[in-house]
Structure 1
Amino acid sequence: MKIILTQEVSGLGAPGDIVEVKDGYGRNYLLPQGFAIAWTKGAEKQVTVIQRARAAREIRDLGHANEVKAQLEGLKVNLTARAGNGGRLFGSVTPGDVVDAVKAAGGPSLDRRRLELPGAIKAIGSHQVRVKLHPEVTARFDLKVVPGK
């Protein structure tokens, strides 16, 4: 099955890529989740629009990615979340929460889809977060979740 990715899918490709996948994977997962659209000649023309939007969000080049990496790794990011007794959070920390916390700490604006959280963050404490800035550059920073609110 030939599809056009609308979002980055780990191990498969980036938005705008035309890929060949097994029928079941495309029909039962990628298409219903909105990660891809079915390939047609008309849809292929939309690929340029998707790639232009991606280029606007994309880190410009390797040098810029390394600058953002240095900025992120020197940043102290604190996130306040509601927690109960024993340090368990009410809910969990989402990638959107992390992006907002990085921006509040004076860091660069990030795309939440590029964050790689270490599983679900459901407890207070320090957690290691990875951000894939460029195909060759991955930044890591500590996220300290503190009780509050």
Structure 2
Amino acid sequence: MKIDIGIGQKDRKKIADGLSHLLADTYTLYLKTHNFHWNVTGPMFNTLHTMFETQYTELAVAVDDIAERIRALGFPAPGTYSQYARLSSIKEEEGVPDWKEMVKQLVEGHEAVVKTARKVFPTAEAAGDEPTADLLTQRMQLHEKTAWMLRSLLE
């Protein structure tokens, strides 16, 4: 059935493509945060173990919200590791860095998600796609705050 929500097919496709990059970044950050939750050691163990759990739990919800928005726009959401590897601007961590490096990488990951969301925003705004613009605003706000909190641990 044809989608008739007041946003043309070309604009919906462009927005969905941008959201696919956001989904890949968010999922990659989720996986990295979960990995660091499992493997953090050192004097900040308890604080970071708990903080990382809170963060990856929030990211799991975000992944679903972003994927469902892509679907509402009428396009399939990427859902494989190979798609995420191709679409994400965040690099996976192969090893187990120390806690300071973990925090540094997560700051960079949250900032990368913000930049990806910011790239999609003008397209959503120009198309009158308020639900996507709202989602992007919420994501940027949360990731900027999380990056600030993590960055504070290193100062």
Give the TM-score, by structure 2 length.
0.28
Which is higher, the Rg of structure 1 or of structure 2? 1
Taking CA–CA contacts closer than 8 Å with sequence separation of 6 or more, which of the two structures ends up with the larger relative contact order? 2
More helix by share: 2
